[in-house]
Chains A and B, each alone.
Chain A
Amino acid sequence: MNPGFTWNIITDIQWMWSLPSMVNAFRAGLAVALLAGVVGWFMVLRRQSFAGHSIAITGFPGAAVAVYLGASATLGYFGFCVGSALLIAVLARGSGTGAGERAHSSALIAVVQAFALALGAVFLDLYGGFLSSTSAFLFGDFLGTTDADVLTLVAVSLAVLVAMAVIGRRLLFASIDPAVAVARGVPVRALNILFLVLLGATVAEVSKLTGSLLVFALLVMPAATAQVLTARPGLSLLLTVVLGVFVTWFGLAWAYFGNQATGFTITSLAFACYVLAYAAKSVRRSFRLGVA
């Protein structure tokens, strides 16, 4: 049972951070917000939210299979997430922007997701009585972050973020205007595949903390909110990360003091931000139209 929330903020924070697991959770939260924010920003821009969600879901059977085979869950997460990312990226036809191509690729993504889940069902069955772990796989265990977790998270984050920094500008070009980018010599198809793989790695790593179902929220919501508020890429990216850190940290604190699940608290905060941003934009637009 967590101590109640007093209105003396300083004491509360001191209390919370006296627990090493909470400190780790906050450190992890920072890294996750940064990683998921940057990758998620591109994912939202490229309208690949469905792919991101599906890849996240495939992590769950991956973990189940790995644990059944005696390996670590992390390996399972990575294997399945990156594997399904590659499958989707390679089998999707063309650049995926035509109406028919979107239809076909979304069908493919759905089949990959559903089949991965079906596999998970089998291994769940075989392992039997696995249900508490199901919960952990699907919903995560943010408040139980260990030192080792933080270290691996930082390592993977650095790797992915460096890769993103290297390909960033070309990826932006390829995302916004693939036809012209190809003409200019940008390796669009290779970038498409690489991006999905990076997305898979991000998802796999973040899923360990937030669970397969809710990693999606951290990928989509801060980025979507930022893109509602501004069209300038640099500002938008920065805003995404700031929002991500905000909802993660406050979500963690809320979960701790209110004895709620982090999944619920973080998504609720993030959604509230999104709704507020949307409302603010609508108000601003109607105001401008009314005056003009």
Chain B
Amino acid sequence: MTTDDAVLSLHDAAVSVGGRLLWSGVDLTVRPGEFVAVLGPNGVGKSTMIKVLLGTLPAAAGSVSVLGQRPGAAGEQIGYLPQRRNFDASLRIRGVDVVRLGLDGDRWGVPLPFSRRFSAARRAADERVREVIDLVGASAYAHRPIGECSGGEQQRLLIAQALVRKPRLLLLDEPLDSLDLPNQAGIAALIHRICVQESVAVVMVAHDVNPILSYLDRVVYIVGGGAASGPAAEVITTETLTRLYGTPVEVLRAADGRLVVVGGPEAPALHTDRHGDRHEALR
């Protein structure tokens, strides 16, 4: 099993926030075109893992390599969807503009007026934006203010923004969080389609595995301190989870194939500074 073409690899990684060790001993390798989910109870540090991969938070131990470099160095090739990003209705910016920012928002200067007529690069950029909006199926409402779009529509546009630069890795932080079931299914299918079609590696944080279960290659399950990674069928089992949690946990399969984890204790309500990482993240 070579890791030469690995899109990212974590080896014995650990992270601490606000002086407290969140998780440790995490091993994960993701290859192009794989769809991996990061699961676990609330507050365990799933979003923190994304931050480590992005390079905004240093790993306390172990080695982390993203696209062959240290985290944060290959930002251009990573598409990122942060958690619960909501454009409220009063912010009147169009979906296409948001997607466009994903393409060139970090370039200095302003787009020159009328450059469309003279610049092939500008035309190509416009074409790419149109293309990626088609890919996610958002053409019908991309020209409306994004705040007026529904949750599912916004997520599609934001996924388009993350994809517009043809990234090799997509990092999604609970994208299905605030969506209803039909939308969850739709977005999950979209992500899978992109994963396969564009050969993009996808690492997705989720608190419910069911909408994406059938698309997953592998799963990383983090529980207060420890983690287990492997195919979903091996990790989300009564034995594995009981071992991880340290207390009896049962994994049941409902009639329609959905998995339910029963008996997992609530994440302890520790009053730490959840935003302690923000201070470090601002360096």
Binding site for B on A (CB under 8 A): 93-94, 98-101, 103-104, 289, 292
Using known A-B contacts A100-B147, A292-B272, determine if residue A94 contacts B18 with beta carbons closer than 8 Å: no
B113 at interface, CB cutoff 8 A: no
Bitwise, B81-125 to A at CB < 8 A (1) or not (0) is 000000011111000000000000000000000000000000000
Bound: A292/B91 CA distance, A: 41
B177 at interface, CB cutoff 8 A: no
Contact A93 B90 (CB under 8 A): yes
Closest to B92 in A: A100
Residues of A within 8 Å of B276, CB to CB, are: 289
A69 to chain B, nearest CB (A): 40
Contact B90 A104 (CB under 8 A): yes
Bound: A99/B146 CA distance, A: 13
Binding site for A on B (CB under 8 A): 18-19, 88-92, 147, 272-273, 276
A104 to chain B, nearest CB (A): 7
Bound: A289/B273 CA distance, A: 8
Bound: A24/B18 CA distance, A: 53
A40 to chain B, nearest CB (A): 27
Write 27 A-B pairs (CB below 8 A) sorted by A numbering: A93-B90, A94-B90, A98-B88, A98-B89, A98-B90, A98-B91, A98-B147, A99-B88, A99-B90, A99-B91, A100-B88, A100-B89, A100-B90, A100-B91, A100-B92, A100-B147, A101-B88, A101-B90, A103-B90, A103-B91, A104-B90, A289-B18, A289-B19, A289-B273, A289-B276, A292-B19, A292-B272
Residues of B within 8 Å of A100, CB to CB, are: 88-92, 147
Bound: A101/B88 CA distance, A: 9
Bound: A99/B91 CA distance, A: 6
Closest to B18 in A: A289
Residues of B within 8 Å of A99, CB to CB, are: 88, 90-91
Bound: A188/B251 CA distance, A: 47
Residues of A within 8 Å of B92, CB to CB, are: 100
Bound: A155/B88 CA distance, A: 43
Bound: A103/B88 CA distance, A: 12
Residues of A within 8 Å of B147, CB to CB, are: 98, 100
Closest to A105 in B: B90
Residues of B within 8 Å of A103, CB to CB, are: 90-91
Bound: A101/B276 CA distance, A: 30
A189 to chain B, nearest CB (A): 16
Bound: A104/B90 CA distance, A: 9
Residues of B within 8 Å of A289, CB to CB, are: 18-19, 273, 276
Bound: A98/B86 CA distance, A: 10
A85 to chain B, nearest CB (A): 22
Residues of B within 8 Å of A292, CB to CB, are: 19, 272
16 further A-B contacts with Cβ under 8 Å, apart from A98-B90, A100-B92, A103-B90, are A98-B88, A98-B89, A98-B91, A98-B147, A99-B88, A99-B90, A99-B91, A100-B90, A100-B91, A100-B147, A103-B91, A104-B90, A289-B19, A289-B273, A289-B276, A292-B19
Bound: A289/B276 CA distance, A: 10
Bound: A215/B98 CA distance, A: 42
Closest to B273 in A: A289
Closest to A101 in B: B90
A177 to chain B, nearest CB (A): 16
Closest to B91 in A: A100
Bound: A104/B88 CA distance, A: 13
Residues of A within 8 Å of B89, CB to CB, are: 98, 100
B84 to chain A, nearest CB (A): 14
B120 to chain A, nearest CB (A): 35
Residues of B within 8 Å of A93, CB to CB, are: 90
B20 to chain A, nearest CB (A): 8
Bound: A227/B277 CA distance, A: 25
Residues of B within 8 Å of A94, CB to CB, are: 90
Residues of B within 8 Å of A101, CB to CB, are: 88, 90
Bound: A99/B89 CA distance, A: 9
Report, nearest first, the 4 A-B pairs whose CB atoms are least far apart: A100-B90, A98-B90, A100-B91, A98-B88
Residues of A within 8 Å of B88, CB to CB, are: 98-101
Of A94, A98, A101, most B-chain CB atoms within 10 Å: A98
Bound: A131/B183 CA distance, A: 66
B17 to chain A, nearest CB (A): 12
